[in-house]
Amino acid sequence: MKNKIHQLNKRVNRPLSPGEVVAGILEEEEITQTQAADRLGISRISLNELINNRRALTPDMAARLGRYFGNGIGVWLRMQQTVDLWDALHMDQSRYEAIEPLRQVA
């Protein structure tokens, strides 16, 4: 995990969010957001918010996408985790530097 965090910290561009990936697949397959939302059993607004990065992926949505696209829940959860970690590592680091560690590393 430490190596993954180091790699994300060095990465210049933000990884693709699950919503951006969904948007790309839907475009490639010529499926509308309304059609996909109906198949997923969610509102078009919910799907649109995910696609436009106004809503983070939930485990429920990951399960729905995993079933719909046939690639499982884990792919989608890991994708969201990668984006979340990148965002955390690229925000104002003074938030973290101000935290005093429980124990000093020797």
How many residues are there in the chain?
Answer: 106
Contacts of 26 (CB under 8 A, 6+ apart): 32, 33, 36
Ordered structural domains, the chain, with CATH? 2-97 (1.10.260.40)
Q: What is the pTM of this model?
A: 0.82
Per-residue pLDDT at 53 exceeds 90: yes
Tokens 């890991």, located at residue: 78
Q: What pLDDT band is residue 9 in, cutting at 50, 70 and 90?
A: low
pLDDT of the residue at 92: 83
